[in-house]
Amino acid sequence: MTRIAIVGVAGRMGRTLVNAVQQDAGASLAGGIVEPGSSLAGADIGELAGLGKLGVAAVDSLEAIVDDFDVLIDFTTPRVTLNNLAACAKHGKGIVIGTTGLDDEELAALDAYRDKLPLVFAPNMSVGVNLTLKLLATAARALGDEGYDIEVIEAHHRHKVDSPSGTALKMGDVVAESLGRTLKEHGVFAREGQCGPRTDKEIGFATVRAGDIVGEHTVMFATEGERIEITHKASSRMTFAKGAVRAARWVAGQGNGRYDMQDVLGL
Ligand code: NAD
């Protein structure tokens, strides 16, 4: 039984994660962490998640429950995640990170922990998205150098703070890597005004932010005469939460290293 603590437990993903851990026979809920000084400290995390009392009170510091859990699941913000990585490394815990929007410096800081603890980091924990990444690599290899234009289109709810989504960037990365391109050189993240025709090798990104859309991604391969679209639509945050709990159970048995969902799922 893997004992799991959830940081950001009052957030959208945090509350969904409480549900997912409760539904998983191989995992137990060891604690929930809210922001330091939050008025929600002391609240029952089952009640925060709309499940009724579970007898686990939210705390506002990781140190308060450090003896109680094996793996921390973190869906918060880049800065908070880096602090939690340091704490988990210090206390010999595993960590599953779903936080997105890390800049290059923050990604390098995260990567520096690869030999200090077992960590899973993935911008999208859904099984379907991770299978989609495999399909994209195959499609890109078959089409990308044969005159097909590649565009990534994503839509999310109005509260999302980073853009394009971590998943869209990951999809773009997988496609670019399969074709020997890089997003740094070939990614096009905005088009406005007289920006001219597209170039052959660019990989374009377009973003929609509206309402309560959980997460939709399409990668389009278009040429004269046909268009192939590979689409994933998430209809509930539960798909990410279930993937994260699966990752937590998996990482509990791993040595130090940086892993992604492809490792967890054996894809
Ligand atoms: P949210 O704003 O609803 O939740 C974040 C929570 O973190 C908030 O409740 C906030 O109070 C809490 N928090 C902030 N600082 C904290 C601290 N120091 N200690 C404890 N808690 C703290 O956001 P969300 O929609 O749940 O998304 C969170 C992150 O997860 C985002 O980066 C989002 O893009 C990402 N996400 C990833 C996946 C995936 O599959 N990898 C899926 C969905 C969302």
Q: Do residues 211 and 230 both lie within one domain?
A: yes
The CA 178 to ligand 1 mean position distance, Å, reads 31
Residue 145: per-residue pLDDT: 87
The CA 125 to ligand 1 mean position distance, Å, reads 14
Domain hosting 148: range is 127-234
Residue 164: per-residue pLDDT: 97
For the Cβ of 33 lying below 6 angstroms from any atom of ligand 1, the answer is yes
Cis-peptide into 164, omega within 30 deg = yes
In the annotation, is 170 catalytic?
Answer: no
- pLDDT (tens place) for every residue of the chain, 267 residues total: 999 999 999 999 999 999 999 999 999 999 999 999 999 999 999 999 999 999 999 999 999 999 999 999 999 999 999 999 999 999 999 999 999 999 999 999 999 999 999 999 998 999 999 999 999 999 999 998 889 999 999 999 999 999 999 999 999 999 999 999 999 999 999 999 999 999 999 999 999 999 999 999 999 999 999 999 999 999 999 999 999 999 999 999 999 999 999 999 998
* Protein residue with its CA nearest to atom 40 in ligand 1: 124
Which CATH number fits the domain that encloses residue 84?
A: 3.40.50.720
Q: Do residues 180 and 242 both lie within one domain?
A: no
Nearest alpha carbon to residue 215 among 203, 232, 230:
232
- The structural domain count of the chain equals 2
Q: Which amino acid does the sequence have at 32?
A: G
Q: Do residues 152 and 193 both lie within one domain?
A: yes
Tell me how far apart the alpha carbons of residues 231 and 168 are, in angstroms, rounded to a whole number.
11
Tell me how far apart the alpha carbons of residues 26 and 38 are, in angstroms, rounded to a whole number.
30
- Tokens representing 62? 């990781």
Residue 267: per-residue pLDDT: 85
For the Cβ of 11 lying below 6 angstroms from any atom of ligand 1, the answer is yes
Q: Is 122 assigned a ligand-binding role in the annotation?
A: yes
The CA 80 to ligand 1 mean position distance, Å, reads 10
Q: Do residues 101 and 81 both lie within one domain?
A: yes
Between CA 165 and CA 147, with CA 169 as vertex, the angle to 5 degrees is 130
Q: Do residues 101 and 174 both lie within one domain?
A: no
